[in-house]
Amino acid sequence: SAVISQKPSRDICQRGTSLTIQCQVDSQVTMMFWYRQQPGQSLTLIATANQGSEATYESGFVIDKFPISRPNLTFSTLTVSNMSPEDSSIYLCSVGGDRGPLGGYTFGSGTRLTVV
């Protein structure tokens, strides 16, 4: 399965600022997913990042707040913009397995964001 390097692992940010999270994959993948996991909650999909096209956002998430880049098949970034304490969460990127959906998905190690 793919290996994902996600940075930063954690950060404490001031409200009103922005943070960019990076995910680097050791192989080319078509689709990358960005999830959020709020304290005590499960994972919620923010958006799907496709190379060469705009990201597709889930209901409740907008590009102005969570801009995503996907410059190539091994890399993606998620920016959390104009942060507020409500954005404090764990953010994870994910890619599908090389056997397609039956192979399960691999996750980055996550970015633990605290907004103060």
Query: Interface with another protein by CB under 8 A: which residues?
Result: 31, 33, 41-45, 48, 56, 58, 92, 94, 96, 101-102, 104-110, 112
Query: In whole angstroms, how close is the CB of 113 to another protein at the nearest point?
Result: 13
33 within 8 A of 49, measured Cβ to Cβ:
yes
The secondary structure of the chain in percent helix, strand, coil, rounded to multiples of 5, reads: 5, 55, 40
Q: Which of 24, 17, 47 is nearest to 106 (CA)?
A: 24
Judged by beta carbon, residue 14 or residue 40, the one nearer another protein is 40
Query: In whole angstroms, how close is the CB of 82 to another protein at the nearest point?
Result: 25
Query: In whole angstroms, how close is the CB of 75 to another protein at the nearest point?
Result: 18
Judged by beta carbon, residue 24 or residue 106, the one nearer another protein is 106
- Element (H or E) spanning 77, and its range? strand 75-80
